[in-house]
Amino acid sequence: MLREGRRLRVADLVHEFGVTDTSIRRDLAILEANGVLLRVHGGAVARASEVRPRPVTDRMRLHLAEKQRIGAAAAALIEPGEIILLDSGTTTLQVAAHVPPALRTSGMLTIITNSLRLAEDVLTWPAPNLILLGGLCVQDYQAIVGTQALEQLEHLMVDKVFLGIDGLTLTDGATTADILMAEINRHMAARARQVILVSDSSKLGRAGFEPIVQVNQIHRLVTDSGAPPALVEALRAEGVLVDLV
């Protein structure tokens, strides 16, 4: 379960395995002593070193048709003259890929990103206005993180940020599998007037390893029609605009 990126809760494990909470807590203590996990209040999480994402090229192929539809719908939300932030998620790559030709010319749009792959794609535009954050490069994500990137973000203010996620629930908000990626995404969200999540429905209803933003910080979610209806309804009740494509 931990390798799937799930956060384990004692109450859920008691229900799933049909044993007492004392047994679960004892087993979690043994696993922590063996270096397998870290116990937290009410459950356990994987050690950061155990949560290793698939290579970005593999992740790009997962749910590709849904990501392309989501990217097109999200790109349609971008207005001329805006300054936008794009993170390193594979669905976010599809947002950039679907930016209309009219916005790809000089002065019509400013893109700021920490994604090396996204920056490479944007540089093929006729006249891109691109800012690439500097700092430590994380190979698994082909992305820039760390203190230098965070300091640069402190001096920016943007119209919209588009964030990919690894999980979204009402209680945990938007989450991801990597502490460093969560850190820079939190700072991105703090520098944007609108926080827009882009995610295929397979991520919805599950909790990732590290929190990014809570539900009350999310302005919009663009996802596919496979999203759980109950979660969509609950998000809308919390004031989140949800686009199903």
Are residues 92 and 213 both part of a single domain? yes
Residue 95 to residue 67: CA distance in whole angstroms: 9
The verdict on 169 and 227 lying in the same domain is yes
The reply to whether 171 and 225 lie within a common domain is: yes
**Beta-ladder partners of 137:** 144
Pairing mode, if any, of strands 43-46 and 8-9? antiparallel
Each of the 245 residues of the chain gets a pLDDT tens digit; together they read: 776 666 788 998 998 899 999 999 999 988 887 777 888 778 888 765 444 555 666 666 678 999 999 999 999 999 999 999 999 999 999 999 999 999 999 889 999 999 999 999 999 999 999 999 999 998 888 999 999 999 999 999 999 999 999 999 999 999 998 888 999 999 999 999 999 999 999 999 988 778 999 999 999 999 999 999 999 999 999 999 999 99
Neighbours of 232 (CB within 10 A): 18
Cα atoms found within 13 Å of the Cα of residue 155, Cβ hemisphere only: 6
Residue 62 amino acid letter: L
**Under a CB-based contact definition with an 8 Å cutoff, are residues 97 and 115 in contact?**
no
Q: Which of 50, 69, 88 is the C-terminal boundary of a domain?
A: 50
pTM of the model: 0.78
d(CA 107, CA 54): 36
Domain boundaries, position 106: 56-244
Considering the domain architecture, whether residues 121 and 91 belong to the same structural domain is answered as yes
CATH number, residue 28:
1.10.10.10
* Distance from chain centroid for Cα 33: 31
Indicate if 31 and 112 belong to the same structural domain.
no
Residues 137 and 238 in one domain: yes
Residues 68 and 175 in one domain: yes
Tally of structural domains, the chain: 2
